[in-house]
Amino acid sequence: MRQSATARRDDAMRHAPLAVVLALAVPGCATDRARERPAGSGGFERRERPDSRAEHRLEMEAAWRWLAQRYDGDGDQRITLAEHGRGEAAFAHLDRDGDGAVTAADLVCDAILPPDLGIPLLLPQLVGGPSVEAVPIGQLVAALHALDQSGDGRVGRGEFQARYGWGAMAGVDGFGTLLAGMDRDDDELLSLPELSSWLAARDLDGDGLLAMRERDVAGPPLRTGFIPPEEREPAPDFAAVDLATGQTVLRSALQRRRPMALIFGSFT
């Protein structure tokens, strides 16, 4: 039986190294994106783990070898849009320096995560610790305000990295991820109003916390594991497209007619 393009893509993803899946998922690169400022005279402990960064580089080098074997048709160590053949959006995720070709350098540079996903993952761990999933917004504002060693009300890359290094996740540009979401005036600096505004907008349930898992509306804390049926919350209603007919259907309408299972995947 002939596979569809979607089936072939999914099969390739299942057999690809994890590093390749991550490379396909995270856009952006730290290269040439920041104007550094002096970190100031304050002494801060770095939270950078050289072993993790070295391990990540090895994973990305393996990912490049896999990509080159699959897509580099002429063997010139450059994958063009035509060779990749998966559309401009997917190609842009890999071409992190935007030079029109994917090379090994694109993968070994530090990635910038989509802010709505990346910032709630990074900040609680940076400020609260590696196992913390939620931090009071006031604590975050105070912690980042303390990084402003120059006293100008803004935080630059040098000031951030003097305290936190590249961030909590190997292979991810922590400061670049913050800029991608918060830097409204594109000056490559974070001001306290920019920080406070983004955090307030992200607090959808109004509990005063930046959490990795955020409710869309106010309610009891999210729970994981087995929940007794009588304590379970109904899934919110939403519209989806029926892949067979192309028609738009509501979850609530389907649930009244047949059993339904909602399956949610991760970012990758």
- pLDDT tens sequence for the chain (268 residues): 344 443 433 344 344 444 444 444 445 555 444 333 333 333 333 444 555 667 777 888 888 899 999 999 999 999 999 999 988 888 888 888 888 999 988 887 777 888 888 899 889 988 888 888 899 999 999 998 899 988 889 999 999 988 887 666 777 888 999 999 999 999 999 998 999 999 999 998 888 999 888 877 777 777 778 889 888 877 778 888 888 888 898 888 877 777 777 777 654 4
Residue 239: phi, psi to the nearest 5? -100, 145
Split into its structural domains, the chain has a count of 2
In a domain, 251, yes or no: no
Distance separating alpha carbons of residues 64 and 23, to the nearest angstrom: 9
Which pLDDT score is estimated for 178?
93
Whether residue 132 sits in one domain with residue 96: no
Whether residue 172 sits in one domain with residue 128: yes
In a domain, 27, yes or no: yes
Whether residue 131 sits in one domain with residue 82: no
Whether residue 196 sits in one domain with residue 126: yes
In a domain, 90, yes or no: yes
Whether residue 95 sits in one domain with residue 15: yes
In a domain, 261, yes or no: no
pTM greater than 0.75: no
Whether residue 99 sits in one domain with residue 140: no
Which pLDDT score is estimated for 242?
82
In a domain, 253, yes or no: no
Whether residue 186 sits in one domain with residue 121: yes
Residue whose C-alpha is closest to residue 77's, from 88, 92, 61: 61
In a domain, 176, yes or no: yes
Which pLDDT score is estimated for 186?
92
Q: Are the beta carbons of 138 and 213 closer than 8 angstroms?
A: no
Whether residue 122 sits in one domain with residue 200: yes
Distance separating alpha carbons of residues 204 and 104, to the nearest angstrom: 39
Whether residue 128 sits in one domain with residue 207: yes
In a domain, 55, yes or no: yes
Q: Which 3 state secondary structure label does DSSP give 100?
A: coil
Helix, strand, coil percentages in the chain from 3-state DSSP, rounded to 5: 45, 5, 50
Q: Which residues pair with 154 in a beta bridge?
A: 191
* Residue 178 structure tokens: 């913050």
Residue 218 DSSP one-character state: S
Which pLDDT score is estimated for 201?
92
Domain boundary, last residue among 80, 108, 136: 108
Whether residue 183 sits in one domain with residue 157: yes
Domain boundary, last residue among 54, 83, 108: 108
Whether residue 199 sits in one domain with residue 154: yes
Task: Indicate if the alpha-carbon torsion angle 117, 120, 123, 124 is positive or negative.
Answer: negative
Whether residue 73 sits in one domain with residue 143: no
Distance separating alpha carbons of residues 104 and 106, to the nearest angstrom: 5
Domain CATH number, residue 149? 1.10.238.10
In a domain, 250, yes or no: no
Domain boundary, last residue among 173, 193, 211: 211
Q: Which amino acid is at 189?
A: L
Residue 34: phi, psi to the nearest 5? -125, 145
Full residue range of the structural domain in which residue 128 is found: 115-211
Q: Are the beta carbons of 29 and 106 closer than 8 angstroms?
A: yes
